[in-house]
Amino acid sequence: MPPARARPLSPHLQIYRWQIGSTLSILHRITGLLLAAGLLALIFWFASLAGDEAGYHAAVRLFASPLGLLILVGWTFAFFYHLLNGLRHLFWDIGRGFGRTERRVSGWLAAAGACALTLGVWSLLWHFERL
């Protein structure tokens, strides 16, 4: 039997240099999971609407609590980030935006756009709540 030849190792975290694309890809997967988990909150809210008044008020108290609001803001960011990053991928599917600069700029735009849209939505909600 011939001796086993040394096979190359795939890159790992000690060799591979971290890039914005890595962060955006991981964040896209995490936001997808958060959106799926957020469906449980939406189902809970729908069930409270279909139930009695006490159940609805319990759901409102939960979602209006500081932790509930933090989760809702996070869910809003997850929605907008996943949407905008998904649009990046649609452009890639048609063969656009593969240049190094284009990838970096579109990644930063997706992240900044998600932050801006989240702030905008919650600013409007806060404004209309005060009226």
Residue 4 included in any domain: no
What the block records as the tokens of 58 is: 């319990």
Provide the whole-model pTM.
0.85
Q: Is residue 45 part of a domain?
A: yes
**From the centroid of its chain, how far is CA 44?**
21
Decide: 81 and 117 in contact? Cβ < 8 Å. Answer: no
Under 8 Å between Cβ of 41 and 79: no
Question: Does residue 9 belong to any structural domain of this protein?
Answer: no
In a domain, 13, yes or no: no
Residue 71 within a domain: yes
Residue 49 structural domain: 20-130
Q: Hey, what are 9's tokens?
A: 């190792």
Distance set, CA 40 to CA 45, 55, 71 (Å): 9, 16, 12
| Per-residue pLDDT at 51 | 95
Domain CATH code at residue 37: 1.20.1300.10
First vs last Cα of the chain: how many Å apart? 82
Domains in the chain, number: 1
Per-residue pLDDT of the chain (131 residues; tens, 9 = 90+): 666 777 766 767 677 778 888 899 999 999 999 999 999 999 999 999 999 999 999 999 999 999 999 999 999 999 999 999 999 999 999 999 999 999 999 999 999 999 999 999 999 999 998 87
What DSSP assignment string belongs to 87-119?
HHHHHHHTT---SHHHHHHHHHHHHHHHHHHHH
In a domain, 1, yes or no: no
